[in-house]
Homo-oligomer: A and B are copies of this chain.
Amino acid sequence: VTNGSKVMRNAGFGWEGVEREAYKPEGSNFSAVTRQVLLGEGEGEGDLNAITRYYEIAPGGYSSLERHQHPHTVVVLRGAGRVILEDTVSEIRPYDCVYVAPNCLHQFLALESEPLGFLCIVDRERDTGNPAGDEDVARLRANPEVAGVFRR
């Protein structure tokens, strides 16, 4: 449409005109994660303050264990997995919605048997993530609910 509106068709959790990128350009505290920016960073999308990304974690993979000031809105689209929010673990499945509050330590993990795909909505203006520190890790290790789940 001449005013910039558009429909981006999905096929197999890929979208027309959207590149499947590495989760982060570097780092070793995550595994088997890809990122697709659906809307917000493309040409003509500067009127969006919200950036909508689709992350997919392959079976057995996980995102960084980290915290940051900006909140996340997450809606699961595919597969199954778990989310760590501070000192809790929750199983998540399609259409479950997760709010990651400011500065909440968090990590998303796919099951060993299934991928985990989810939308993650953030503001255009936001801080970068800070990986979990040694104190965080010591605290999680001392918590039986989380100790066997988190990955660093």
Contacts and interface: CB of A to CB of B under 8 A. Distances in A.
A46 to B, nearest CB: 10
- Chain A interface extent, by class: 35 or more
Nearest to A87: B1
Contacts of A3: 86, 101-104
Contact of A95 (B77, B90, B95, B98): B77
Nearest to A14: B95
23 contacts: A1-B85, A1-B104, A2-B86, A3-B101, A3-B102, A4-B104, A5-B85, A7-B90, A7-B97, A7-B98, A8-B99, A9-B93, A9-B96, A10-B96, A10-B97, A15-B95, A47-B71, A47-B101, A49-B50, A50-B73, A52-B73, A52-B75, A77-B77
